[in-house]
Structure 1
Amino acid sequence: MDAIEALLTRKSTALLEAPAPAGDDLEKILKAALRAPDHACLRPWRIILFKDDARHELGQIYAEALKKKDVDASDAALEKELKKPLRAPLVIAVIAKIQDHPKIPQSEQLLSAGAAAQNIMLASHALGFGGIWRSGDICFDETVKTRLGATGLDEIIGFLYLGTPKSHPPIPEFEMSDHIQEWKSV
């Protein structure tokens, strides 16, 4: 699939199964992340892959975080956290590694990490895989951040769940004029 087709047809897909990207495909996907726009070549991100049993360990981290936040969490709620990373055969955590820099503000570094995550999603789609970028409270949880090695100003950008789509839902159309305008001089 060419780049424009990938951009115009990518859609988040939550229902994923094996196989996940692996081997040369995974290497291409990760190399695509490294091509994200990055002022001063800081590479202000860290990417962590959770495959196979490592997904269970990530589930343990999620459950530990819930238990610390809510000591009365039900067994069902804890079980739900344990199973979250098993919704896809590959989970990739993207962490913005914010650095002190005299010319590159924190916001730009955060956006660069987001662009690396988007490149992963686009490259996965271009190679025939599907995925969904999940975020939410878990990304801001101090237990999760600490366990994944995020320190200081670091932020978890999201967890990218990748695999083979179980189905191909229609791609929604958007009205460009609702979101894009041309500047008109006054």
Structure 2
Amino acid sequence: MTGMQPALEAIRARRSYSKVTPQAPTTTELQTLIAPLASVADHAALRPWRFIELRGDARDGLGFALAEAAAATRDTPMSADRELAHTAKFVSKAQRASLILAIVVSPRTHPKAPLWEQEAAASGAAHLLGLALHEAGWGSIWRSGPHTRSAPVHRAHRLAPEEYLLGWLYIGGIPGEEARPKFRRPLDLDRALTAL
């Protein structure tokens, strides 16, 4: 093999950006990046995934839902002031990027494609979209958390009963050099690739 292969270079270059600039791809630009995901490994070609765009005030809805889910798991109640501050914290977190894409597993009933395979296909689609975003000049990070699959978050995304989230891609412009993440340490190839 001579020279660098484009796919390998894209994989090597991809980074997670916990901070992004306010710029974000348009819906049309996203569609251009999502269209090639038809090639994702997907038993029975079910395409058991979809993405939901959250922009503007829709991000606040995510923050409120996360705050509601967190409140439901607390053992002790908070004062009204603390509750308000707690909710504001979640809303603020949901505004860390101008564009958030919810990653949805949208399973289909199929005798040869169990749910775990369908979730793997959705994960593959989300990861490849992250690569495509980076190659197109956008920064992103895949976020989740303990309330990702809570009832309030499910309702806020208007998911069908059988659907569930894998998390969210927070997307924006790539920040200046000082905010760029460092390259990760190399894999231990003796552990990552073994033989029987």
User: TM-score normalised by the shorter chain: which range applies?
Assistant: 0.7 to 0.9
Q: TM-score, normalised by structure 2?
A: 0.83
Among 84, 105, 121, the residue aligned to 1:96? 105
2:190 is aligned with 1:173: no
Offset from partner CA, 1:79-99 (integer Å, 9 cap, x none): 111111110111000111122
- Shift, 1:149, TM fit: 3.0
Structure 2: any 5+ residue segments left out of the alignment? none
Q: Distance in 2 between matches of 1:148 and 1:178?
A: 42
1:45-64 correspondence to structure 2 within 5 Å: 45-64=49-68
- Shift, 1:155, TM fit: 2.4
Q: Give the 3 Å change call, closer, same or farther, for CA 96–16 of structure 1 in structure 2.
A: same
Q: Give the 3 Å change call, closer, same or farther, for CA 9–181 of structure 1 in structure 2.
A: same
Among 25, 28, 51, the residue aligned to 2:29? 25
Taking every aligned residue pair, what percent have the same amino acid on both sides? 32
- Shift, 1:153, TM fit: 4.2
Asked if the contact 1:3/1:126 (under 8 Å) is kept, the reply is: no
Asked if the contact 2:48/2:121 (under 8 Å) is kept, the reply is: yes
- Shift, 1:21, TM fit: 1.6
Among 117, 124, 133, the residue aligned to 2:133? 124
**Structure 1 residue ranges (4+ consecutive) displaced by more than 4 angstroms after TM superposition:** none
Q: TM-score, normalised by structure 1?
A: 0.87
Aligned to 1:104, the other structure's residue is in SS state coil
Q: Give the 3 Å change call, closer, same or farther, for CA 94–61 of structure 1 in structure 2.
A: same
2:160 is aligned with 1:148: no
- Shift, 1:24, TM fit: 4.6
Structure 2 equivalent of residue 69 of structure 1: 73
Structure 1 equivalent of residue 48 of structure 2: 44
Asked if the contact 1:90/1:161 (under 8 Å) is kept, the reply is: yes
Amino acid at match of 1:108: E
Aligned residues: 184
Aligned to 2:192, the other structure's residue is in SS state coil
Structure 1: any 5+ residue segments left out of the alignment? none
Asked if the contact 1:18/1:163 (under 8 Å) is kept, the reply is: yes
Offset from partner CA, 1:33-58 (integer Å, 9 cap, x none): 44322111211112100112222222
Amino acid at match of 1:72: P
Amino acid at match of 1:111: A
2:11 is aligned with 1:4: no
Offset from partner CA, 1:82-127 (integer Å, 9 cap, x none): 1111101110001111222111011000000111111111110011
Q: Distance in 2 between matches of 1:94 and 1:33?
A: 13
- Shift, 1:12, TM fit: 0.8
